[in-house]
Chain A
Amino acid sequence: AQKVTQAQTEISVVEKEDVTLDCVYETRDTTYYLFWYKQPPSGELVFLIRRNSFDEQNEISGRYSWNFQKSTSSFNFTITASQVVDSAVYFCALIGRGSQGNLIFGKGTKLSVKP
């Protein structure tokens, strides 16, 4: 069975604070991919990053960074110096080898960044 858990339902921060969104996954597959999507109030899911199970290098893109640790089955997402425009629901998702493209999503973390 495959599962993604985002334990933080809602997070509220003040602008310019750093914030980390947690993601823990379960899969028996050795080949899998992990994703993060952003869903702003407009509703459209926006792709942020894809990571395969063989690449544990951390990745940084501007104010965004991702920490992938297979030992703890985690793929956490950090926003540095948060901005009001970062306010959205963020989803972590998983595709396993046998799932034929079926994205397994977590329940999402709602981030509110206040000015």
Chain B
Amino acid sequence: EAGVAQSPRYKIIEKRQSVAFWCNPISGHATLYWYQQILGQGPKLLIQFQNNGVVDDSQLPKDRFSAERLKGVDSTLKIQPAKLEDSAVYLCASSGGTSVYNEQFFGPGTRLTVL
């Protein structure tokens, strides 16, 4: 079974530029998560989708971050404009079933560096 796919793996941009990350969850997984992991810390949830609807985006900085999950499969996370403090690894995860307690399977992440 293929895992969670993410691209690109690495991205370097200047501050105030925009950037987008892509995620393809495990086939059949209805729930998709985006996490931000700053160096030396644990991941922090940005947004959670159930199919193509948003379940929780309370920690998403909506003035600059946006995310969508068209057709309930792939998802895109965008930052516009980027700030220095957005430098982090952006992790996508997915889980199957209906329980919120199911284990989440993570992709390899996108490492963003903002200069």
Q: Please measure, in the bound complex, the distance between the C-alpha atom of A100 and the C-alpha atom of B56, giving whole angstroms.
A: 8
Q: A33-B101, A45-B91, A107-B40 are in contact. Are A102 and B106 (CB under 8 A)?
A: no
Q: Is B111 an interface residue (CB 8 A)?
A: yes
Q: Which of B42, B102, B108 contacts A105 (CB 8 A)?
A: B42
**How large, as a class, is the contact surface on chain B?**
20 to 34
| Segment of A12-20, A59-67, A70-78, A91-99 engaged in the interface with chain B | A91-99
Q: Is B24 an interface residue (CB 8 A)?
A: no
The interface bits of chain B over 33-57 (1 if a CB of A lies within 8 angstroms of the residue's CB, else 0) are 1010000111111001000000110
Q: A44-B106, A44-B108 are in contact. Are A100 and B100 (CB under 8 A)?
A: yes
When distances are taken between beta carbons in the complex, the residues of chain A under 8 Å from B48 are 100-102
Looking across the interface, which residue of chain B has its beta carbon closest to that of A4?
B42
Q: Is B14 an interface residue (CB 8 A)?
A: no
Q: Which of A102, A106, A107 contacts B45 (CB 8 A)?
A: A102
Looking across the interface, which residue of chain A has its beta carbon closest to that of B3?
A44
**Chain A, range 98-115, C-beta contacts under 8 Å to B:** 99-103, 105-108
- A sample of 5 more A-B contacts (CB under 8 A), given A44-B108, A106-B42, A107-B42, is A44-B106, A47-B106, A52-B101, A100-B48, A105-B42
Please report B residues at the A interface, Cβ cutoff 8 Å: 31, 33, 35, 40-45, 48, 55-56, 89, 91, 93, 95, 100-109, 111
Q: List 7 A-B residue pairs with CB atoms under 8 Å apart, sorted by A's residue number.
A: A42-B108, A44-B107, A45-B106, A47-B106, A101-B56, A101-B102, A107-B42
Top 7 A-B residue pairs of the complex, sorted by shortest distance between their CB atoms: A105-B42, A101-B100, A45-B106, A33-B101, A44-B108, A102-B45, A47-B103
